[in-house]
Amino acid sequence: MSDGALFHRDRGWHPTPLSPDYKTSVVRAPHKALLSMNTTLSEETGPVFGHDMLGDLDNDLTVNFAQPGEMAIGQRIIVHGRVLDQNGRGVPGALIEVWQANAGGRYRHAKEGYLAPLDPNFGGCGRMITDDEGAYAFRTVKPGAYPWPNGVNDWRPAHIHFSLFGPSFGQRLITQMYFEGDPLIPLCPIVRTISDPDAVSQLIAPLDMANTVPMDARAYKFDIVLRGRRSTLFENRKEGN
């Protein structure tokens, strides 16, 4: 017995694959229509990630790459929230992997060409697994905005990349978190691949002063929703499957 088919994706809520203002998408977006199918076991199942695979510092980007006694430079923040499914239930055991630029907007990557300096104490990766309620939290520094070669003067708003791995391979999702109040958000060609302003809002984390740690770090709240499952009231399945 499967737990039930995954909800179909609302492709109009997601970004438009071929978005001419995001130039790379022009040669990388499929031209033919996607073939719509109902999910099978191949999409409804997925690997299990155990909390025991995590290191103590995996969810603290301020220190997980730093020399002993050192810390990353930048505005200290805590990002926290819940992973939910479309039925509003918390998703326990979801693997979250995050990556970001340093406080100056520079990534630690061989193909990165921005002149802003590397921070010797900042790697830029972190990961966690959601708890029984689907909650997660990590500590980091606020990433800087950075320029990128697309238009002649395009800048990415400050953002953190998120990879989400819930219980089903068909729920796999990569997205980005933006910060409340950033004037670069509406200018960004990657943000603008999403056409519905309410969908963009779903990716903007509000400042959460209530969860700020005084004299330490401000907090941002970011909830993420993964595909839901149909209830199994009337499954179109033969007995025994």
Partner 1 sequence: MQTLPHLRESPSQTAGPYVHIGCVPNFAGISGVYDHDLGSKMLRDGVLGDRIIVTGTVFDGTGTPLRDAMIEIWQADANGIYPGRDPRGAGDPNFAGWGRAAANGDSGVWSFETIKPGAVPFPDGRMMAPHISFWIVARGINIGLQTRMYFPDDPAVGNDPWLTRIEHQNRVPTLIAHETKPGTYRFDIHLQGPDETIFFDV
Restricted to residues 78-137, the positions that interact with partner 1 (CB under 8 A) are 84-88, 95, 97-99, 107-112, 123-127
> Which one, 78 or 157, has the nearer CB to partner 1?
157
* Contacting range for partner 1; rule: CB under 8 A; set: 71-79, 131-139, 210-218, 221-229: 221-229
Q: Which two tokens stand for residue 118?
A: 């590397």
212 scored as a contact of partner 1 (CB under 8 A): no
- How many Cβ atoms are within 10 Å of 3's Cβ, its own excluded? 13
Rounding to the nearest 10 degrees, give the CA dihedral for residues 203, 209, 213, 217.
50
215 scored as a contact of partner 1 (CB under 8 A): no
C-beta of residue 78 within 8 angstroms of C-beta of residue 137: yes
* Contacting range for partner 1; rule: CB under 8 A; set: 1-9, 68-76, 131-139, 210-218: 1-9
Q: Are strands 76-85 and 224-226 parallel, antiparallel or unpaired?
A: parallel
Size of the site for partner 1 (CB under 8 A): 96
* Contacting range for partner 1; rule: CB under 8 A; set: 32-40, 69-77, 129-137, 213-221: 32-40
CA-wise closest residue to 48 among 149, 163, 169, 136: 169
| 224 vs 177: CA distance, rounded Å | 10
233 scored as a contact of partner 1 (CB under 8 A): no
| 1 vs 127: CA distance, rounded Å | 32
Rounded least distance, CB 21 to partner 1, Å:
12
Binding string, 145-184, against partner 1, x = CB under 8 A? ----------------x-xx--xxxx-xxxxx--------
> Which one, 17 or 212, has the nearer CB to partner 1?
17
Q: Which residues are catalytic?
A: 107, 146, 156, 159, 161
Rounded least distance, CB 199 to partner 1, Å:
5
* Contacting range for partner 1; rule: CB under 8 A; set: 27-35, 132-140, 179-187, 207-215: 27-35
Q: Coil, strand or helix: which one is 175?
A: strand
Place of tokens 């088919």: 5
List, in order, residues 6 or more apart from 108 with CB less than 8 Å away: 102, 118, 122, 123, 124
> Which one, 199 or 212, has the nearer CB to partner 1?
199
Rounded least distance, CB 32 to partner 1, Å:
5
Buried b (16+ CB within 10 A) or exposed e, 129-162: bbbeebebebbbbbbbbbbeebeeebebbbbbbb
Rounded least distance, CB 183 to partner 1, Å:
19
Rounded least distance, CB 46 to partner 1, Å:
6
CA-wise closest residue to 160 among 91, 94, 77, 57: 77
> Which one, 207 or 228, has the nearer CB to partner 1?
228
